[in-house]
Amino acid sequence: MIQLRHISKHYPVGFGKNEILKDVDLTIFEGEFVSIMGPSGSGKSTLLHILGLLEEPSSGDYLFEGELVNKMNEKKRTQLHRGSIGFVFQAYHLIDELTVYENIETPLLYKNIPGAERKSRVADVLDRFNMVAKKDLFPNQLSGGQQQLVGIARAIVAEPRVILADEPTGNLHSDQARVIMQLFKHLNETDKITIIQVTHSEQNAAFGHRVIEIRDGKIQ
């Protein structure tokens, strides 16, 4: 489903450049549940951003379902963001001006889902995350962990084919973290959603099928 060939990424720093990812080759099959691990600053988020089409690699090829992403136009990428990819950010990134309910609803709006279905889907997700009581609050009225839950809810509500989650449980109590992991596992097993998560926790990683170790921009 996802194939990276000789991907590298560097940022210009001063007069030189700072290599973050070095010649990464990676293949992830449909239906896999993969955990990416590695020390801080090793390039995990960068890799995930590239997978999520939020950032362009400096060189190398990225194939999404056999199609070369480098060649895709903006429209096609938008289509993938709408239908295929759900992204959970390390820093939650909710829209401050929208309520919990509206934040979760937004991806469905972009997918042009009719009103009634939208309502039931959002209600469903809220229910699943135990957030019905909080649905009319704004992000700044929530704790960090609650915001993270909303971010995850937003990523799964549109039923994407791949969920890319950057430390989805970093701010959660281990019990809550387990619930999320079980949810991911459930989505992965019953709905056949491919899941790629970045995590620092061995326990969380254990929920997946395989672990990718990244160190100094290289896959071990």
Partner 1 sequence: MFRNYLKIAWRNLHRSKAYALINITGLSAGMAVAMLIGLWIWDEVSYNKYHQHYDRIVQIMRQATFQGVTGTGQAVPIPLADYLRTHYGSDFKSVVTSSWTLENIIAAGDNKLTSTGIYMEPQAPEMLSLQMLEGSRKTALQDVNTILLSASLARSLFGGQPATGKIVKLNNKTDVRVSGVYADIPHNSSFSDLAFIAPFSQYLATSGDWAKHAVTDWNEYSFQMFAELNPQVDAQKVSGKIQSVIKDNSADESNPMLLLHPMRKWKLYSEFQNGINTGGDIRFVWLFGLIGVFVLLLGCINFMNLSTARAARRAREVGIRKAIGSAKEQLVGQFLSESLLVVAIGFCIALLLTMLFLPWFNNVADKQIALPWGSVSFWLLCAGFMLVTGVLAGSYPAFYLSAFQPVKVLKGTFRAGRFAAMPRKVLVIVQFAVSVILIIGTVIIFQQIQYTKHRAIGYSRDGLITIPMNTPDLFGHYDALQKDLQATGMVENMAESSSPTTQLFSRGGENMKWRGKREEEKILFGNIACTHDFGATIGWQILAGRDFSREYATDSSAMILNASAATVMGLKDPVGEKIQWGKHQYTVIGVVKDLLMESPFATAMPTVFRLNYDWANVITVKIKPGRDNRAALDKIAAVFKKYNPGSPFNYKFNDQEYGKKFMAEERIGKLAGCFAILAILISCLGIFGLASFTAEQRIKEIGVRKVLGATVLSIWALLSGDFLKLVFIAFLLAAPAAYYGMQHWLQQYEYRTPIHWWIFMATGGAALGITLTVVSYQAIKAAVINPVKSLRTE
Would you tell me which residues interact with partner 1 (CB under 8 A)? 45, 49, 52, 54-55, 74-75, 78, 81-83, 87, 89, 91, 93-98, 102, 105-107, 109-111, 154, 158
Residues found in the chain: 220
Residue with smaller CB distance to ligand ATP, 36 or 142: 36
The H-assigned helical ranges of 10-143 are: 44-51, 74-83, 100-110, 115-128
Residue with smaller CB distance to partner 1, 107 or 207: 107
Residue with smaller CB distance to partner 1, 87 or 184: 87
Contact 6, 23 (CB under 8 A): yes
The H-assigned helical ranges of the chain are: 44-51, 74-83, 100-110, 115-128, 144-157, 174-190, 202-206
196 binds ligand ATP (CB under 6 A): no
Site map for ligand ATP, 29-48, x if CB under 6 A?
A: -----------xxxxxxx--
148 binds Mg ion (CB under 5 A): no
One-letter amino acid identity for 181?
A: M
Report the relative pairing of strands 59-64 and 67-68 from DSSP bridges. Answer: antiparallel
Q: Residues in the site for ligand ATP, rule: CB under 6 A?
A: 11, 18, 20, 40-46, 90
